[in-house]
Amino acid sequence: MTNIGVLGAGQLGRMLALAGYPLGHRFRFFDPASDSPASLLADHLAFDYADTSALEQFAQGLDVVTYEFENVPVEAVRHLEKFVPVYPPPIALEKAQDRFVEKSFFRELGIPTPKYSTDGFAKRINGYETDEGNGLEADARIVSTDGFAKRISGYETDEGNGLEADARIVSTDGFAKRISGYETDEGNGLEADARIVSTDGFAKRISGYETDEGNGLEADARINSTDGFAKRISGYETDEIEFPVVLKTRRMGYDGKGQMVVSSQAGLENGLGNGETDGLIIEEFVPFDRELSIICVRNRSGETKFYPLIENQHRDGILRLSLVTGNVSADLQGQAEEYATRVMSALNYIGVLTIEFFEKGGRLLANEMAPRVHNSGHWTIEGAVTSQFENQVRAVTDASLGSTSPLGACAMVNLVGTLPDVEFILKIEGAHLHLYDKAPRPKRKLGHITLVEKDVEMLYEKLNEIRKVYDQF
Ligand code: AMP
């Protein structure tokens, strides 16, 4: 028996507990909202994530903590880690909470993404104009991950984790004359021998000129300046993007919230309609063939398993239908597993991980990842030998993982905003209804229905039955 603490007490937490009880585990939830779907199943501490004494009270007697919500403040998780192991590792949260950091991380691992750029970073990198002409502006930032500088001029980052969002290159005259207070030689930007000098002898040098060992930016962390402009920062290229683009908040966006398609420069300048352009990422609009997600799991001993790629259909940015019908080539499955393996290895991952992709011309472009069980994996409760929820529990308790094989052609219909006639659904043979005990509200996920059938024709017949009383998919 393991005492498992869960940060977040929504429907994912509820399904996690429902999967963990048969294995003899106990659960305790932490969520600021007092009337959450998991509340009826287990102890629930309803405090703010910033309340450290409440977090300590939560941790008492727990063997492990996990989460079902990726926007838990990282500081809260770091605090908990002092008292109890937390899986997946908080670094996964850091990567997933900021879309720019996330996409940069994918690229660093050689995982293709849609083209993207961002304000609040360098305004002109690879073709993005700055106001002042020719360089990194005062608030230009370097965001980095592993293998880049740990510190620049006194800006602490996390261990092994590179420059954080607020590690800055500061420029005084529209060009990088100074880097965090250190004058460059020519007063004229990042030249071949311009250096980032760090107080603890960290930064090596920019532009590929090695300095003494351990004494600077690592070999591939470069700012190459040809025309007095930073073309490349630590290997993170930003892209030139043509309209239409998708403008998204870097943080806290989900289910289509905090994003809009923009077709003109004027639209870009207006931000998300409020004139606020900071903290946004700009992505190319991808006319994808399909959206697919991979769900994988790794336990504390490193055993790893993958579910088959799931085909996902959205409306208004919200997942409506997930399908597992064998309609995915071995090549695509292989690509997805390879990319997921890179992410899990880089993060020393433990738990369930989901990566969402756009499929275009037989290629996968990573859109985002979730370091947790995922809505597109709800079909696994009845449709796979072992559900994503049970495998999450197994992974964080270091049990062997269960088989991820599907049991047939599967579909999951999300119930969003309103509920169908429950009696009608229950009369459809093989329809599994899950309700989350949430009050109906527009765009709110209230439940889902799973179908598992022997063949795809029967699956579509049953989906058509559901459409008679519920057409939101
Ligand atoms: P996200 O919150 O990034 O998962 O976006 C929600 C949904 O919006 C996605 O599942 C897509 O259907 C759509 N979407 C997001 N980004 C893009 C993009 N760059 N191009 C086209 N569609 C997108």
Residue by residue, DSSP assigns 416-460 as: ESS---HHHHHHSTT-EEEE------TT-EEEEEEEEESSHHHHH
pLDDT above 90 (res 409): yes
Task: Give the pLDDT confidence score for residue 118 in this predicted structure.
Answer: 62
For residues 312 and 226, membership in a common domain is answered with: no
Distance (Å, rounded) from C-alpha 350 to C-alpha 347?
9
Q: How far is the CA of 317 from the centre of ligand 1 (A)?
A: 6
For residues 312 and 458, membership in a common domain is answered with: yes
pLDDT above 90 (res 79): yes
Give the residue, by CA position, lying nearest to ligand 1 atom 11: 317
Q: Tokens at residue 162, please?
A: 């590179």
Pocket test residue of 242, 245, 259 for ligand 1, highest count of atoms within 8 A of CB: 259
Residue finishing a domain among 86, 110, 141 = 86
pLDDT above 80 (res 107): yes
Q: How far is the CA of 404 from the centre of ligand 1 (A)?
A: 27
Q: Is residue 306 part of a domain?
A: yes
pTM across the whole model = 0.78
Task: Give the pLDDT confidence score for residue 248 in this predicted structure.
Answer: 86
Total number of domains in the chain: 4
Q: Tokens at residue 86, please?
A: 């937390």
Q: How far is CA 391 from CA 9, 72, 79, in A?
A: 18, 21, 26
For residues 413 and 428, is the Cβ–Cβ distance under 8 A? no
Task: Give the pLDDT confidence score for residue 244 in this predicted structure.
Answer: 85
For residues 78 and 185, membership in a common domain is answered with: no
Q: Is residue 100 part of a domain?
A: no
Residue finishing a domain among 41, 66, 86 = 86
> Residue 20 — φ and ψ, nearest 5°?
-85, -25
Cβ neighbours around 390 below 10 Å, total = 24
Q: How far is the CA of 88 from the centre of ligand 1 (A)?
A: 25
pLDDT above 80 (res 253): no
Q: How far is the CA of 275 from the centre of ligand 1 (A)?
A: 22
Per the listing, tokens 């990088």 go with 176
Per the listing, tokens 């991980």 go with 353
Task: Give the pLDDT confidence score for residue 252 in this predicted structure.
Answer: 83
Q: Is residue 108 part of a domain?
A: no
For residues 65 and 86, is the Cβ–Cβ distance under 8 A? yes
Q: Is residue 64 part of a domain?
A: yes
Per the listing, tokens 């998780």 go with 77
Strand pairing class (43-45; 178-179): unpaired
| Range 299-320 burial, b when 16+ CB lie within 10 A, else e | bbeeebbebbbbbbeeeebbbb
Q: Is residue 367 part of a domain?
A: yes
Distance (Å, rounded) from C-alpha 250 to C-alpha 434?
32
Task: Give the pLDDT confidence score for residue 381 in this predicted structure.
Answer: 98
**Closest atom of ligand 1 relative to the 367 alpha carbon:** 3
Give the residue, by CA position, lying nearest to ligand 1 atom 18: 285
Q: How confident is the model at residue 283 (pLDDT cuts 50, 70, 90)?
A: confident
Q: How confident is the model at residue 328 (pLDDT cuts 50, 70, 90)?
A: very high
Pocket of ligand 1 (CB under 6 A): 114, 246, 253-254, 256, 283, 285-286, 291, 314, 317, 356, 367-368
Question: Among 161, 196, 122, which Cα is nearest to 346's?
Answer: 161
Q: How far is the CA of 370 from the centre of ligand 1 (A)?
A: 14
Distance (Å, rounded) from C-alpha 234 to C-alpha 219?
10
pLDDT above 50 (res 86): yes
Q: Is residue 115 part of a domain?
A: no
Q: Which residue has the higher pLDDT, 197 or 87?
A: 87
Task: Give the pLDDT confidence score for residue 146 in this predicted structure.
Answer: 28
pLDDT above 90 (res 160): no
**Closest atom of ligand 1 relative to the 283 alpha carbon:** 19
Residue by residue, DSSP assigns 202-219 as: ----STT---STTSSS-T
For residues 320 and 391, membership in a common domain is answered with: yes
Cβ neighbours around 447 below 10 Å, total = 21
Strand pairing class (26-30; 43-45): parallel
CA 198 to chain centre: 31
Section 25-35 average pLDDT: 96
Task: Give the pLDDT confidence score for residue 21 in this predicted structure.
Answer: 98
Q: How far is CA 187 from CA 154, 182, 203, 226, 403, in A?
A: 21, 11, 19, 15, 62
For residues 363 and 290, is the Cβ–Cβ distance under 8 A? no
Q: How confident is the model at residue 246 (pLDDT cuts 50, 70, 90)?
A: confident
For residues 352 and 259, membership in a common domain is answered with: no
Q: How confident is the model at residue 376 (pLDDT cuts 50, 70, 90)?
A: very high
Q: How confident is the model at residue 5 (pLDDT cuts 50, 70, 90)?
A: very high
Give the residue, by CA position, lying nearest to ligand 1 atom 17: 285
Task: Give the pLDDT confidence score for residue 304 in this predicted structure.
Answer: 98
Section 322-343 average pLDDT: 98
Q: Which residue has the higher pLDDT, 145 or 69?
A: 69
By residue range, what is the domain housing residue 272? 245-284
* 330, burial (CB in 10 Å: exposed 0-12, middle 13-18, buried 19+): exposed
For residues 168 and 305, membership in a common domain is answered with: no
Q: How confident is the model at residue 263 (pLDDT cuts 50, 70, 90)?
A: confident
Q: How far is the CA of 116 from the centre of ligand 1 (A)?
A: 13
Query: For 88, which DSSP code?
Result: S
Residue finishing a domain among 236, 256, 271 = 236
Average pLDDT over the chain, rounded to an integer: 78
For residues 397 and 254, membership in a common domain is answered with: no
Section 46-65 average pLDDT: 98
Q: How far is the CA of 254 from the centre of ligand 1 (A)?
A: 10
Cβ neighbours around 331 below 10 Å, total = 9
pLDDT above 90 (res 164): no
| pLDDT, tens digit (0-9, with 9 covering 90-100), for 230-242 | 333 333 345 667 7
Section 97-110 average pLDDT: 92
| pLDDT, tens digit (0-9, with 9 covering 90-100), for 195-204 | 333 322 223 2
CATH code, domain carrying 9 = 3.40.50.20
Q: Is residue 472 part of a domain?
A: no
Section 97-101 average pLDDT: 91
Section 44-71 average pLDDT: 97
For residues 228 and 270, membership in a common domain is answered with: no
Q: How confident is the model at residue 396 (pLDDT cuts 50, 70, 90)?
A: very high
Task: Give the pLDDT confidence score for residue 275 in this predicted structure.
Answer: 59
- Strands of the sheet containing 245-249, edge to edge, are 116-118, 280-284, 245-249, 259-262
For residues 262 and 370, membership in a common domain is answered with: no
For residues 256 and 186, membership in a common domain is answered with: no
For residues 288 and 360, is the Cβ–Cβ distance under 8 A? yes
**Closest atom of ligand 1 relative to the 245 alpha carbon:** 19
CATH code, domain carrying 344 = 3.30.470.20
Ranked by mean pLDDT, which of 181-190, 225-234, 236-245, 428-437 comes out on top? 428-437
Q: Is residue 249 part of a domain?
A: yes
Q: Which residue has the higher pLDDT, 244 or 27?
A: 27
Kindly state the helix (H) or strand (E) to which residue 467 belongs, with its residue range: helix 456-467
For residues 417 and 391, membership in a common domain is answered with: yes
Q: How confident is the model at residue 271 (pLDDT cuts 50, 70, 90)?
A: low
For residues 450 and 419, membership in a common domain is answered with: yes
Distance (Å, rounded) from C-alpha 359 to C-alpha 286?
9
For residues 399 and 299, is the Cβ–Cβ distance under 8 A? yes
Q: How confident is the model at residue 276 (pLDDT cuts 50, 70, 90)?
A: low
Task: Give the pLDDT confidence score for residue 412 in this predicted structure.
Answer: 98
Task: Give the pLDDT confidence score for residue 260 in this predicted structure.
Answer: 85
| Of 66-80, 110-124, 147-161, 333-347, minimum mean pLDDT range | 147-161
**Closest atom of ligand 1 relative to the 287 alpha carbon:** 21
Distance (Å, rounded) from C-alpha 145 to C-alpha 160?
8
For residues 451 and 427, is the Cβ–Cβ distance under 8 A? no
Interhelix angle for 74-81 vs 52-59, to 10°? 50
Cis peptide before 244 (omega within 30 of 0): yes
Section 155-167 average pLDDT: 31
Ranked by mean pLDDT, which of 136-140, 155-159, 427-431 comes out on top? 427-431
Q: Which residue has the higher pLDDT, 284 or 80?
A: 80
Task: Give the pLDDT confidence score for residue 185 in this predicted structure.
Answer: 33
